[in-house]
Amino acid sequence: KQEVTQIPAALSVPEGENLVLNCSFTDSAIYNLQWFRQDPGKGLTSLLLIQSSQREQTSGRLNASLDKSSGRSTLYIAASQPGDSATYLCAALSGAGSYQLTFGKGTKLSVIP
Amino acid sequence: DVKVTQSSRYLVKRTGEKVFLECVQDMDHENMFWYRQDPGLGLRLIYFSYDVKMKEKGDIPEGYSVSREKKERFSLILESASTNQTSMYLCASSSLTGELFFGEGSRLTVL
């Protein structure tokens, strides 16, 4: 059974710092990996989707990488801003045509002005 | 823009009441999902549907049922609400690439 882990559970950084959020998964046979952002009391917003054949995806100040062999994905946030404060979750989809999406429990990011 | 709309952001119900949570997506997606999210437990899949009138149980279907009469609409039903169903409920739909899109969530409190 797939397990997805995000460490640390919480992270606090000063504004302007570049940072990396980590996501690890136990079963490398994934179809894709998706990163989400969640603000308090709200739903999840899709940030980046990496298909299993891809190594990375970029959107603005965000860059997500995927290394299936090591069971790891990272989300890089450049020049962090207070508005980036949120909980970031990753989710791995196991197998094409499967509906088995496994979520990590998230990393709560605080960017201090 | 992609949009998943959940009918109610906040609901307060009494134990034993029947509760309907509605979700509509405007992206013509085949797949739709209902999750609940609780502190310390993360997101857990209740039910999903891969086509009209089709449904599959997720990890925690007990106490819930679903209805999908139209492609764009997926409803979650609590036949007799209980206090342990107090939670944040999240609806999602997925594209052919497997990308998941969520609604804003429905915070349900059962007294």
Please tell me the predicted confidence (pLDDT) of residue A34. 96
Residues of A within 8 A of B99 (CB-CB) are 32, 34, 46, 49
Are the beta carbons of A44 and B102 separated by less than 8 Å? Answer: yes
Grade residue A11 by pLDDT with cuts at 50, 70 and 90. very high
Please tell me the predicted confidence (pLDDT) of residue A1. 84
The reply to whether B45 touches chain A by the CB within 8 Å rule is yes
d(CA A38, CA A40): 7
For residue A63, pLDDT over 90 is answered with yes
- The CA distance from A44 to the nearest CA of chain B, in Å, is 6
Q: Are strands A10-14 and A107-112 parallel, antiparallel or unpaired?
A: parallel
User: In terms of CA atoms, which chain A residue is nearest residue B41?
Assistant: A105
Residues of A within 8 A of B100 (CB-CB) are 34, 36, 44, 46, 91, 101
CB atoms within 10 A of CB B54: 11
Chain B interface, best mutation among A35, A46, A90, A107, by max B CB count within 10 A: A46
The beta-carbon contacts of A41-44 under 8 Å, at least 24 apart in sequence, are A41/B88, A41/B105, A41/B107, A42/B104, A42/B105, A43/B4, A43/B6, A43/B90, A43/B102, A43/B103, A43/B104, A43/B105, A44/A89, A44/B90, A44/B92, A44/B100, A44/B102
- The CA distance from A33 to the nearest CA of chain B, in Å, is 9
- The CA distance from B15 to the nearest CA of chain A, in Å, is 23
Partners of residue B36 on adjacent β-strands: B44, B89
Q: Is the dihedral of CA A11, A60, B106, B97 positive or negative?
A: negative
For residue A95, pLDDT over 80 is answered with no
> Taking a C-beta distance cutoff of 8 angstroms, is the pair B105, B39 a contact?
no
Percentage of residues in chain B with pLDDT exceeding 90? 86
Q: Fill in the amino acid letter for A94.
A: S
Reported as a single tens digit per residue, the pLDDT across B67-100 is 999 999 999 999 999 999 999 999 999 988 888 9
Average pLDDT over residues A101-105: 93
User: In terms of CA atoms, which chain B residue is nearest residue A42?
Assistant: B104
Average pLDDT over residues A57-62: 97
Q: Considering only A95-109, B13-27, B35-49, which range has the smallest mean pLDDT? A: A95-109
The DSSP secondary-structure symbol of B11 reads E
Average pLDDT over residues B38-66: 93
The reply to whether B97 touches chain A by the CB within 8 Å rule is yes
Residues of B within 8 A of A51 (CB-CB) are 97-98
Partners of residue B93 on adjacent β-strands: B32, B101
